[in-house]
């Protein structure tokens, strides 16, 4: 380094070579045999894995247990076949049929009778010889030889019965009911798919996973031919269940989606018995001291006894069914998880006016029970309050930094921060058809609308903008029809649960359009299966994130369990200091100061309309009584015009008379008249000729938020 001489050291010879990373491993013969045994297709699967080996042993034991009974049935069938053959021979059946075919039965009758008597004698002689021979053999050789001969004879009869099983002439006209007498044999499965017209006669199936026992049934995954789709199997589940000789409730058909499957993979599970016949299970929330609202709520179990959880935050829930099918229990299950979270806020409106929801009054921020018009108006005040709350939350979230609120959505930390005051808030409305059908007129910014229409607009607005701000809607109804629940509201409710309904139309209204064509129709559920429905969740469940819908039996929550959970929720809220509103003894009337609600812009009054249209509007406003159809005779009497002149002038406004049925003292009769909706449209077109449709604005942001009808002066 500093110019000093350095000593030279002899480093030894230098070799030119290559670095070889591969290590040659000498495989032992035993390892080679083990590898061949594991991967060879010639070795049965039950010799490779313990699970399949145990299943093979079970199948062998079941076969051994069935062999004696199958052998006995085959012997009986052989005896019956031999007797039928002997009877045909002794009665000269072939000779008689030939004579009948030639029309000479009368000429040949004597010959046939003589031959028949001869064969009877031969039969008697043969029986006597057999009996004598048996006695001689038993005396000379003992009974052992006779038993051997009897065994051989029964074996021959069993072969005869087995070979001729189902042959013409031996097949009963009234056969017994078909039964599932199989253990998921591949060939039986292929035959069932062919019988159900799901695959062609020349097509077959590939088993992705062999049949195994899972729970109280058999599970198998099959790969359909290239021209077949798994969606068709799901849609035609009833046909496949018939081919397998099981009730469709016992057959679960699911698509295998994602990276582990494709459009042709189908997972089947066949229950041994009715999976919903056992008593229902109590909700597991009874064993929970508290719950996190951000976790999915335990909702029920499917046919395979897998737990199904229902997510609630960032979505809404619609529960529909006919009476006495478990609708109220399902809605209370959804609310139970929110009750056990002390940081949630509850609005409970029971329009059934019973005592099913009374226990929730001790935890609810707002609570009411009744079905009068005053209760509907109070619900409107609640919804207006929530609209203002949502708008206020978005304004406050805009001011938070990105670490606290990375997006314009509520987070678990925000919902539990009492300073920010943005808890997860649920509005639970039982028998929602009552407020939606209320015809009481309300004034909204100078416009008169029905209370039901306004409730529908507010619920739709909250279902659209509320979830991101922590608002959860839980709506339950026993009248799931298109007139009761507006299509705009149904379209924005993420989760659906349909218990038994009357027909497929009602099922589609709850679950979504065309769901019955995909194999999901709640009208096919059995009336005896209380609490069983089709769940279409808005999120991932135990059955998989890609499952469109599944049949679920909800947990059972009687009134005593419900009261226990509500009392536990109140204790948690008192400990955390989050008890508020009605539960804390405060006034339930909401404070509406600062709340801005969706409103319809009114652009015209009746004084500015043509005289005829103004008179019609005024009459409908005063005497319409919420009707959707006004008879022509009433308008003729009010306006003083004859029907021809009235019809001509109304047509100039775009109103066309139609026929409809009305109730009168003489009964229901069909008359001509005008629909109120067309009169409203005429007012809108006259007032705003350039406006293609109604405009609904938000009073704070001045942006369009809710589609709605514009009623003008009505």
Which residues are 346's β-sheet partners?
A: 426
What is residue 467's DSSP assignment?
Answer: G
Residue 702, both tokens: 């001045």
Q: What is the distance, to the nearest Å, from the Cα of residue 287 to the centroid of all Cα atoms in its chain?
A: 28
Which of 535, 478, 531 lies closest to 282, judged by CA? 531
Closest to 212 measured CA to CA, from 62, 55, 48, 57: 55
Q: Strands 425-430, 345-350: parallel, antiparallel or unpaired by DSSP?
A: parallel
DSSP result, 258-297: GGG--TTEEEEEEESS-TT-SPPPBPGGGG-S---TTSPE
Nearest to 237 by CA among 226, 252, 224, 222: 252
Mean pLDDT by 10 residues, the chain (714 residues): 50 54 60 75 75 79 83 85 84 74 71 82 87 81 78 82 49 41 66 88 81 81 87 87 85 79 85 83 90 92 88 90 87 93 94 90 92 90 92 89 86 90 94 90 80 91 91 89 78 88 86 82 84 82 62 90 94 92 75 40 46 78 71 81 80 80 68 82 65 36 36 32
Contacts of 381 (CB under 8 A, 6+ apart): 589, 590, 592
Two tokens, residue 151:
């065994």
For helices 143-163 and 50-90, angle between their N-to-C axes, nearest 10 degrees: 100
Which 3 state secondary structure label does DSSP give 18? coil
What whole-number distance in Å separates Cα of residue 94 and Cα of residue 88?
8
3-state secondary structure of 444: strand
In whole angstroms, give the CA distance from residue 482 to residue 706. Answer: 19
- DSSP, collapsed to helix, strand or coil, labels residue 420 as coil
DSSP of 95-145, one letter per residue? Answer: HHHHHHHHT-HHHHHHHHHHHHHHHHHHHHHHHHHHHHHHHHHHHHH-HHH
The CA distances from residue 70 to 66, 300, 341, 439, in Å, are 6, 42, 60, 71
Helices within 372-416 (DSSP H only): 373-399, 412-416
Task: Determine the pLDDT at residue 348.
Answer: 95
Residues 6+ apart with CB under 8 A from 494: 315, 316, 317, 467, 538
- Sign (positive or negative) of CA dihedral 518, 521, 526, 529: positive
What is residue 429's predicted lDDT score, i.e. its pLDDT?
Answer: 94
Task: Look at residue 105 in the predicted model and tell me its pLDDT.
Answer: 67
Which residue segments constitute the domains of the chain, with CATH numbers given?
Answer: 50-163 (no CATH), 186-271 (3.30.980), 284-584 (3.40.50.300), 599-697 (1.10.10)
Angle (nearest 5°) at CA 610 between 609 and 611: 110
DSSP 525-575: S-TT-TTEEEEE-SS--TT-TT---EEEEEPB--HHHHHHHHHHHHHHHHH
How far apart CA 158 and CA 156 sit, in angstroms, is 5
Cα 599 to chain centroid, rounded: 37
Parallel, antiparallel or unpaired: strands 550-554 and 532-536: antiparallel
The residue whose two tokens read 């293609």 is 692
* Residue in this structure with the two tokens 């894995």, named with its chain if needed: 49
Given phi > 0 = left and psi -120 to 50 = alpha, else beta, which region is 445? left
Please state, as a whole number, how many other Cβ atoms lie within 10 Å of the Cβ of residue 168. Answer: 6
So what's the pLDDT on residue 48? 76
């Amino acid at each position: 380094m500093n110019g000093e001489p350095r000593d030279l050291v002899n480093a030894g010879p230098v070799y030119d070579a290559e670095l070889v990373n591969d290590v040659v491993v000498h495989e032992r013969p035993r390892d080679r045999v083990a590898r061949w045994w594991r991967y060879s297709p010639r070795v049965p699967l039950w010799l490779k894995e313990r699970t399949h080996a145990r299943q093979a042993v079970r199948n062998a034991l079941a076969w051994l247990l069935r062999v004696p009974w199958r052998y006995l049935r085959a012997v009986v069938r052989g005896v019956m076949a031999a007797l039928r053959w002997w009877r045909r021979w002794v009665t000269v059946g072939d000779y008689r049929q030939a004579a009948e075919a030639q029309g000479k039965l009368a000429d040949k009758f004597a010959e046939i009778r003589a031959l028949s008597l001869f064969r009877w004698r031969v039969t008697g002689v043969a029986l006597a010889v057999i009996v004598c021979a048996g006695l001689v053999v038993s005396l000379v050789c003992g009974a052992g030889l006779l038993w051997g001969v009897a065994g051989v004879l029964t074996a021959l009869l069993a072969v005869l019965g087995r070979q001729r099983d189902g042959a013409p002439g031996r097949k009963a006209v009234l056969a017994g009911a078909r039964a599932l007498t199989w253990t998921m044999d591949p060939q039986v499965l292929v035959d069932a798919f062919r019988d159900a017209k799901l695959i062609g006669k020349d097509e077959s199936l590939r088993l992705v996973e062999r049949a195994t026992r899972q729970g109280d049934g058999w599970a198998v995954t099959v790969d359909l031919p290239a021209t077949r789709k798994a969606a068709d199997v799901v849609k035609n589940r009833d046909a496949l269940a018939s081919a397998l000789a099981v009730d469709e409730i016992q057959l679960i058909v699911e698509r295998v989606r994602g990276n582990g499957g494709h459009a042709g993979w189908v997972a089947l599970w066949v229950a041994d018995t009715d999976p919903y016949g056992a008593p229902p299970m109590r909700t597991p929330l009874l064993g929970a001291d508290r719950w996190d609202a951000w976790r999915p709520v335990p909702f029920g179990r499917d046919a395979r006894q897998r737990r199904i959880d229902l997510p609630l935050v960032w979505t809404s829930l619609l529960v529909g069914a006919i009476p006495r099918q478990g609708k109220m229990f399902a809605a209370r299950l959804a609310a139970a998880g929110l009750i056990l979270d002390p940081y949630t806020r509850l609005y409970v409106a029971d329009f059934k006016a019973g005592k099913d929801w009374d226990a929730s009054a001790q935890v609810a921020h707002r609570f009411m029970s009744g079905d009068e018009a005053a209760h509907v108006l109070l619900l409107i005040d609640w919804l207006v309050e929530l609209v203002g709350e949502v708008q206020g939350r978005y304004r406050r979230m805009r001011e938070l930094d990105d670490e606290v609120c990375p997006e314009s959505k509520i987070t678990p930390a925000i919902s539990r921060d009492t300073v920010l005051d943005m808890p997860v808030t649920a509005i639970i409305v039982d028998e929602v058809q009552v407020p939606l059908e209320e015809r009481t007129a309300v004034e909204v910014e100078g416009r008169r609308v029905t209370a039901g229409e306004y409730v529908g607009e507010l619920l739709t607005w909250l279902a659209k903008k509320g979830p991101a701000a922590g608002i959860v809607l839980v709506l339950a109804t026993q009248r799931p029809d298109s007139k009761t629940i507006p299509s705009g509201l149904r379209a924005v409710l993420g989760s659906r649960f349909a218990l038994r309904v009357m027909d497929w139309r009602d099922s589609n209204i709850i679950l979504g359009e065309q769901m019955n064509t995909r194999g999901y129709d709640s009208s096919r559920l059995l009336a005896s299966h209380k609490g069983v429905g089709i769940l279409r969740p808005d999120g991932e469940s135990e059955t998989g994130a890609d499952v469109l819908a599944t049949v679920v039996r909800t947990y059972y929550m009687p009134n005593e369990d419900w009261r226990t959970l509500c009392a536990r929720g109140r204790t948690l809220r008192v400990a955390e200091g989050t008890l508020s509103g009605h539960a804390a003894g405060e006034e339930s009337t909401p404070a509406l100061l600062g709340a801005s609600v969706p409103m319809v812009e009114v652009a015209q009054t009746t004084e500015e309309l043509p005289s005829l249209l103004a008179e019609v509007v005024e009459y409908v406003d005063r005497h319409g009584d919420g009707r959707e159809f006004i008879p022509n005779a009433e308008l003729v009497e009010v306006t003083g015009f004859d029907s021809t002149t009235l019809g001509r002038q109304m047509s100039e406004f775009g109103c066309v008379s139609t026929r409809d049925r009305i109730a009168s003292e003489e009964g229901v009769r069909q008359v001509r008249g005008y629909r109120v909706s067309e009169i409203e449209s005429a007012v809108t077109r006259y007032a705003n000729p350039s406006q293609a449709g109604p405009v609904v604005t938000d009073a704070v942001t001045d942006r369009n938020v809710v589609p709605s009808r514009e009623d003008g002066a009505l």
